Amino acid sequence: MTDHKTRMLNAYRGIYSDFFPVAPEFWLYYPAKILGVGMIELQREIPHWKAMRETALKFNAETWCVSGAAANNPHISYAGGEFKKIGEGRYRSSSIVKYGGLALESSVIFDEHEPCWRETYPVKTQQELKIFMEAELAGDVEFDFGCAKTAWEQSGGDLLVEFGLGGAFFDFISDAMGFEEAIMYFMSDNDKILEEWSEKYTARSIRLLHEAAERTNYEAVFIGCGASCNSLLGPTLWRKWDKPYLKAVTNEAHSAGLLVHSHNHGKIMETVSDLAEIGFDCVCPFEREPGDVIGFEGLKKARQALGGKVTFNGNVATVATLINGAPEDVRREVREIKEAFSGTPRLIIGTGDQVGRETPEENIYAMIDEGRK
């Protein structure tokens, strides 16, 4: 029998397995529930791949997760911080990091019941952004693949661990200064400096993926999605700034023998043909509402736009169906997905993003069972 990891990789490559992979995106809420730990312990003390592996084994399901390299940057140094309780089950993690001598402060909120979120961002001014980018994109950064190697080696065939490249170019900027400030910066007269930074960011990502190909055994790389999606960034800015980056990185990954998995939240139909043009091997999660891949007709349109070149992963509704529906509702959506993609191996039956902790186990089991019929 084919193992879980191989089923995923076969789907990425357009090869049939013994049955379609069924890969709920467990991610954080459900692993915390299965392991019986709070969200703070899960995110700060337990390697993500371990938590995902335990959850996948419980349900005998396929799934994927991400591990990456640590950057050793001589231009950036930690200058202090604290982890302080600010309420019942809630903590603030603050840090001061020096970028070329400039100390930048930021903070993250950790909550016992919810995934952590950014409270404040390190970059507050345009001058700080220039200093930040100069340090981050320096050419003498070295990468440490120790944790990534451990994740790949110890996960075995139980799940697919992908090498994380981070987000696209806009996400890199918004992670430094916040979404609203980043949008304003991209909409202002800053094209010249943005083009320079985009070239350097692309070059850094390409160097990272080639080093990953040479120094690890990873089969696939992952490109995430924070704000770089239709629902937030919009297709115009995305095509101008992120599509060229994604195309260049995907081409280089393929030249290095690596598959590429892209994650896109929210509404996606306006740019599905762009994703096929970029050459991704797999895209997820093709959400139903509030996304726009809805029902059998929506699935058929997505398949047509992908052109048989990209593996479709996702679409079982995480709230309306998995949380609020009955097992037969789950089975109906799975059958709909399988019918829309009949006759092609380029299908992974996944969820429209993260599985909520409120999801009844019987609904997860129904999704897996119906997917494998």
The CATH number assigned to the domain holding 334 equals 3.20.20.210
Q: Compute, in degrees rounded to 10, the torsion defined by CA atoms 191, 194, 199, 203.
A: -170
Q: Which of 88, 122, 156 is the last residue of a domain?
A: 122
**Does residue 261 lie within any of the structural domains?**
yes
Q: What is the largest CA-CA distance in the chain?
A: 60
Give this prediction's pTM. 0.97
Tokens of 311: 């593996």
Q: How many other CB atoms are there within 10 angstroms of residue 45's CB atom? A: 8
Contacts of 2 (CB under 8 A, 6+ apart): 10, 17, 18
What one-character DSSP code corresponds to residue 226?
Answer: S
Residue 241's domain comprises: 4-73+141-371
Q: State the alpha helices, DSSP H only, in the chain.
A: 4-13, 29-35, 39-45, 48-59, 126-136, 146-155, 169-177, 179-187, 191-215, 235-237, 243-255, 272-278, 295-306, 327-340, 361-371
**Does residue 128 lie within any of the structural domains?**
no
Is there a single domain that holds both residue 104 and residue 234? no
List of the chain residues with pLDDT < 50: none
Is there a single domain that holds both residue 31 and residue 114? no
Please tell me the total count of domains within the chain.
Answer: 2
End-to-end CA distance of the chain: 15
Contact 284, 300 (CB under 8 A): no
**Does residue 130 lie within any of the structural domains?**
no
Query: Given this model, what pLDDT does residue 100 score?
Result: 85
Is there a single domain that holds both residue 174 and residue 228? yes
Contact 76, 98 (CB under 8 A): yes
Is there a single domain that holds both residue 242 and residue 356? yes
Is there a single domain that holds both residue 226 and residue 293? yes
What distance in Å separates the CA atoms of residue 55 and residue 57, rounded to the nearest whole number? 5
User: What b/e sequence results for 102-122 when a residue is b if at least 16 CB atoms lie within 10 Å of its CB, and e otherwise?
Assistant: eebebbbbbbeeeebeeeebb
Query: Given this model, what pLDDT does residue 101 score?
Result: 85
Is there a single domain that holds both residue 363 and residue 314? yes
User: Helix %, strand %, coil % for the chain, to 5?
Assistant: 45, 20, 35
**Does residue 134 lie within any of the structural domains?**
no
